[in-house]
A and B are shown apart, each in its own frame.
Chain A
């Protein structure tokens, strides 16, 4: 039999802001057309996907042209992660066939929202063929 922990005011406020942030992200994805890169921060957004399994959440992130030791995965809240990885060398917009503006990228960066409660402390990562796999055990 499981015991349910009583939610504190802080938990409720956190949940409210998480919900608002998720709504804002969904709104931005669907309504706003934005590039997959940020020249100010010299970052590109990687492709990613998520699978919610009965016992864990598996996130994969496509990080080509990066080295394993440059990858950083940082929990930023109970429900979100920040992933970044440095490119093997800087890539200029010219290299990607863009000539109407100047700029270059030095890393991939993205924010990943986890839709169910997980144990961030038990997170494990694995990097193979340029694909980062993040496994997060689910919390019940």
Chain B
């Protein structure tokens, strides 16, 4: 199935970097964080995903067509980002292709940026962040940096595929999750997850502008959030609220 998803390279791709994923999900945490990384670090597009499995959709920028799933790079990172939610039925082939491509570029680590929804989020003053990992070594890395581990629970979506694949065949992976709204764009949570990313890979990112423009981002992101809600409903994202029943 992965052969049906191609990664088209536009520029020379650096090897031995960290491959980061920021896709539309709860609170749009991943995509808001990724968008801020692109702006703040002035990342350039180096590759994109091409597949007939994806809906017939392009993103127009300055009048020119772009794939909805693109890969940006600089500062020793590769950042895969999607401006629209990945349809549930193609998450596996798209993520498998991205992971295989990352392996072919000797990615040393994969990190998904996302959120973990909580009720009454508006009443929470300080957001907490958590990590889940593909191996005990990666968990230790997160813990050593002071990030709390998400010990039990369910994970649904692209980041679940990344952790599962990484646990089986590498490269090692980590998912960073900030507490967030489920159905509303959450720039504060995106800022929180970027702070955790800095702890892991040492990439300094100023989140002041992100927080300052938070309300504007929330106005602009309404439609993407609405489409993402529809996909989350299809993939049963609400399962992340479920009380886990671990069978040992």
**Hey, which bits of chain A sit against chain B, CB under 8 A?**
36, 44-47, 49, 60, 62, 64-65, 87-88, 91, 96-97, 128-131, 133
CB within 8 Å for A131 and B216 given contacts A36-B223, A47-B225: no
Q: Count B interface residues, CB 8 Å.
A: 16
Q: Give Cα A130–Cα B187 distance, bound, in whole angstroms.
A: 12
Q: Give Cα A83–Cα B95 distance, bound, in whole angstroms.
A: 40
Find the B residue at minimum CB distance from A66: B215
- B residues 115-137 with Cβ under 8 Å of A? 122-123
Find the A residue at minimum CB distance from B220: A96
Give, as a whole number of angstroms, the nearest-CB distance from B228 to chain A: 11
CB-defined contacts of B208 to chain A, threshold 8 Å: none
Give, as a whole number of angstroms, the nearest-CB distance from B143 to chain A: 30
CB within 8 Å for A64 and B218 given contacts A47-B183, A47-B184: yes
Contact (Cβ within 8 A) B222 A44: yes
Mark B35-66 against chain A: 1 for CB-CB distance below 8 A, else 0.
00000000000000000000000000000000
Find the B residue at minimum CB distance from A62: B184
Find the A residue at minimum CB distance from B187: A64
Contact (Cβ within 8 A) B225 A64: no
Q: Give Cα A24–Cα B71 distance, bound, in whole angstroms.
A: 42
Contact (Cβ within 8 A) B222 A36: yes
Contact (Cβ within 8 A) A130 B183: no
Q: Give Cα A130–Cα B215 distance, bound, in whole angstroms.
A: 8
For the complex of A and B, 9 pairs with smallest distance between CB atoms? A64-B218, A64-B215, A131-B122, A65-B215, A62-B184, A129-B122, A128-B122, A65-B219, A49-B183
Q: Give Cα A128–Cα B222 distance, bound, in whole angstroms.
A: 18
B204 at interface by CB-CB < 8 Å: no
Contact (Cβ within 8 A) A130 B218: yes
CB-defined contacts of A60 to chain B, threshold 8 Å: 122
Contact (Cβ within 8 A) A47 B216: no
5 more A-B contacts (CB under 8 A) besides A91-B219, A131-B122?
A47-B184, A47-B226, A65-B216, A65-B218, A133-B122
CB-defined contacts of B216 to chain A, threshold 8 Å: 64-65
Instruction: Give 23 CB contacts A-B under 8 Å.
Output: A45-B222, A46-B222, A47-B183, A47-B184, A47-B226, A49-B183, A60-B122, A62-B184, A62-B185, A64-B214, A64-B216, A65-B216, A65-B219, A87-B219, A91-B219, A96-B219, A128-B123, A129-B122, A130-B215, A130-B218, A131-B122, A131-B184, A133-B122
Q: Give Cα A131–Cα B120 distance, bound, in whole angstroms.
A: 10
Give, as a whole number of angstroms, the nearest-CB distance from B33 to chain A: 18
Contact (Cβ within 8 A) B226 A36: yes
Give, as a whole number of angstroms, the nearest-CB distance from B53 to chain A: 22
Q: Give Cα A51–Cα B127 distance, bound, in whole angstroms.
A: 23
Q: Give Cα A131–Cα B216 distance, bound, in whole angstroms.
A: 14
CB-defined contacts of A133 to chain B, threshold 8 Å: 122
CB-defined contacts of B225 to chain A, threshold 8 Å: 47
Give, as a whole number of angstroms, the nearest-CB distance from A136 to chain B: 17
Q: Give Cα A36–Cα B223 distance, bound, in whole angstroms.
A: 7
Contact (Cβ within 8 A) A44 B226: no
CB within 8 Å for A47 and B215 given contacts A62-B184, A131-B184: no
Find the A residue at minimum CB distance from B188: A129
Q: Give Cα A139–Cα B106 distance, bound, in whole angstroms.
A: 62
Q: Give Cα A65–Cα B219 distance, bound, in whole angstroms.
A: 7
